[in-house]
Amino acid sequence: MSGTAFSAALRSAIATSGLGLDRIQARLQDHGITISVTALSYWQSGKRQPERQSSISAVRTLEEILDVPTGTLLGLLPPPRPRGSTSRRRLDDRSRRLSLDDARDVSLVGLHDHCVVTEGDLPGEGAHSTVTAKAVFRARADGQDRWLLAYRQDGSDDDEAPELTALRNCSVGRIEADPTTNLTLAELIFSNAIDTGETHLVEYSLSYRHDPCPDTRKAHFREFWEPIPEYLLEVDFEQAHPPEQCWRYSYRNHGGTAESQDVTLDDLGRAHAVAVDFGPGVFGIGWL
């Protein structure tokens, strides 16, 4: 049976427990969680994955019911995938509106994200993340002067779009945000145009907040629409507020299998992950 890393781990845990899906559903109901047997079947087959907050809560309870270590199943869940053809069509339509008739013939040859996570000052405010990104582009045609940044953050549909700031060798052009998909599109206009084979280094920052619910997965991730030679992601946590669990995850587009692996924090409370020759797909670090 095919599927994802999550579905394979769930099937194994269910088989080991000796419980049937109807019994598992009943035990979830005892915890005040209503999940259909059909949904459980889809999860273990890989036809669907838990994405709604109620489903994520159910997975946490499933770990208890199936007697597996905390995070065994939850850590294998990637962020929600883009919401079908409608989401992709919106991306394409918005991209056309932003880019107009100009060529965007540049490739991303290297990206370094440094994400700093700080806890909110007020109760229930949740954590904030500030990401400083250094990106290197190479022109595939003459006269290239901008890049279309597409960024999707984690969290609920009520989250605000991240704040984008140009730091070096670029400026921010037009911006469009789609709150229904947590997707932001923005033009990064280069400080000077580049010709075929030339490279340009830019630096910018993204600031956003996470869902304040303590049981909600947090993450910083990137969706790459074309292969990237190297992507380095660093996440710094406050030493006074380390995460309970931290993992890197990835999945490739077109039905690729999700991969997940625990990440150990260093002495300063930092985690990092590297992707080489990766994409198209999603790569990131998640934590609880």
Mean pLDDT calculated for residue range 72-85 = 60
Give the three-state DSSP class for 103: coil
Please give the full DSSP string across 27-61, using - where no structure is assigned. HHHHTT----HHHHHHHHHTS----SHHHHHHHHH
104, pLDDT greater than 50: yes
Instruction: Outline where 219-269 has alpha helix (H).
Output: none
The better pLDDT of the pair 217, 69 is held by 69
Average pLDDT over all residues of the chain: 80
Would you state the pLDDT for residue 37?
Answer: 87
Split at pLDDT 50, 70, 90, the class of 82 is: very low
**Residue 56: predicted pLDDT:** 77
Q: What is the pLDDT of residue 139?
A: 94
Stated pTM of the model: 0.70
Top-confidence residue, 101 or 26: 26
Asked whether residue 156 carries a pLDDT value surpassing 50, the answer given is no
The one-character DSSP state at 74 is G
**Lowest model confidence (mean pLDDT) among 31-45, 85-99, 124-138:** 85-99
